[in-house]
Amino acid sequence: MRALQLVAPSTLAVVDLPAPVPVAGEVRLRVKACGICGSDLHGMDGSSGRRIPPLVMGHEASGTVDAVGDGVTAWKAGDRVTFDSTVWCGECGYCREGRVNLCDARQVVGVACAEFRRDGAFAEFVTVPQRILHRLPDGLSFEEAAFAEPVGVALHAVKRAGDVAGSTTLVVGAGLIGLLVIQALKRAGARKIIAVDLDEGRLTLARELGADETILSGSAPVPEVDVAMEVVGAAPTVDLAIRSVRKGGRVVLVGNLSPTVPLPLQIVVTRELDVLGTCAIAGEYPEALEAIASGDIRVKPLISASVSLEDGVSAFEKAKAPGALKVLVVDDAGETKNS
């Protein structure tokens, strides 16, 4: 099969690899669309220790079932599906609680680190356990379905914020996940959504997708809010999010660009703030697919480019370009059809 492989730090090449064979309990998918994640861009230079070459990256994907392993009865060739980026065991205490994102044996598709290696979906085929598959709604394109993972991340983050209905909320960072969080907050009934970013173009898109007010970072004070969603993961943005929340309010840390950041501890303590982390997805895939299919969460405006697998190296260059949101690697360079 053809695959886009990370052959060395920061070096990609389209190569021929043996097609994976599904073992018992697995399915093989013919990949139709796969999105380039920020973690791929940030990790491919080797700095994160989670993209150790040689590796086929890619975990935001959709496609059709191509073959099944022994014991697979719920899926058949031709089924239109996506899959959870997290491969969870289903047996540990966290999995039994439904917190599969915290699975003790957690692996991530398209990641290679010291603990595990699992090739991903920047390829013609990928194999995954049947338990992480999700069926696509009728009429949903493969390109839109490839957003199920980031949409699920946004939905899970908003759930971590608790009941936001009627609240004033702040979203710090209007990149891809921030723009999805804005829509997820609107869907959850937030009364007012304020977005802050350094890029006026992204703020314009934030308003189109549901933000009630936007502030170019540093241009004006940020008003006091009930809930702040920090979607960058850097010291200045974490500080801004915490300082903007009212007494007794809540801060949800979504971004993790920096491994450590200073914390304005006195503000957290004296205002009695709830500061919460959020990681990946814990069962939100069906909700994400429904939200995309219904139009509650719009993803088409977030597609910067769709590039064929054979031109996959250029896809990563496009994804690094200023203003890019989501670049997809697809089975052809045109519109990915529903079937």
Dump pLDDT digits (tens) for 92-111.
Answer: 999 999 999 999 999 999 99
Q: What is the biggest distance separating any 2 CA atoms in the chain, rounded to whole angstroms? A: 60
The pLDDT of residue 47 is: 87
The pLDDT of residue 189 is: 98
CATH architecture of the domain 2-147+299-330 equals Alpha-Beta Complex (3.90)
Omega cis (within 30) before 236? no
Helix (H, G, I), strand (E, B) or coil at 257: coil
The pLDDT of residue 332 is: 74
Task: Please answer whether residues 308 and 329 qualify as being in contact, where contact means their C-beta atoms are separated by less than 8 angstroms.
Answer: yes
Dump pLDDT digits (tens) for 225-272.
Answer: 999 999 999 999 999 999 999 999 999 999 999 999 999 999 999 999
The terminus-to-terminus CA distance of the chain in angstroms comes to 21
pLDDT tens sequence for the chain (339 residues): 999 999 999 999 999 999 999 999 999 999 999 999 999 999 999 988 999 999 999 999 999 999 999 999 999 999 999 999 999 999 999 999 999 999 999 999 999 999 999 999 999 999 999 999 999 999 999 999 999 999 999 999 999 999 999 999 999 999 999 999 999 999 999 999 999 999 999 999 999 999 999 999 999 999 999 999 999 999 999 999 999 999 999 999 999 999 999 999 999 999 999 999 999 999 999 999 999 999 999 999 999 999 999 999 999 999 999 999 999 999 974 444 444
CA separation (Å) from 127 to 7, 121, 132, 209, 285?
20, 9, 11, 35, 18
Q: CATH classification of 154-277 is 3.40.50.720, yes or no?
A: yes
Outline which parts of the chain fall under CATH 3.90.180.10.
Answer: 2-147+299-330
Task: Please answer whether residues 27 and 68 qualify as being in contact, where contact means their C-beta atoms are separated by less than 8 angstroms.
Answer: yes
DSSP per-residue string spanning 43-66 = HTTSTTSSBPSSB----EEEEEEE
The pLDDT of residue 335 is: 45
**Structure tokens, 320:** 């690094």
Nearest to 338 by CA among 84, 62, 152: 62
Task: Please answer whether residues 173 and 257 qualify as being in contact, where contact means their C-beta atoms are separated by less than 8 angstroms.
Answer: no
Enter the pTM of the model: 0.96
- Beta-carbon contacts of residue 17 (< 8 Å; ≥ 6 apart): 1, 2, 3, 5, 56, 123
**Structure tokens, 228:** 């702040």
Return the sign of the alpha-carbon dihedral for residues 147, 148, 150, 151: positive
Q: How far is the C-alpha of 247 from the C-alpha of 268, rounded, in Å?
A: 9
Q: How far is the C-alpha of 153 from the C-alpha of 234, rounded, in Å?
A: 19
Outline which parts of the chain fall under CATH 3.40.50.720.
Answer: 154-277
Q: What is the CA radius of gyration of the chain?
A: 20
CB-CB neighbours of 178 under 10 Å: 25
CB-CB neighbours of 194 under 10 Å: 22
The pLDDT of residue 311 is: 97
CA 39 to chain centre: 9
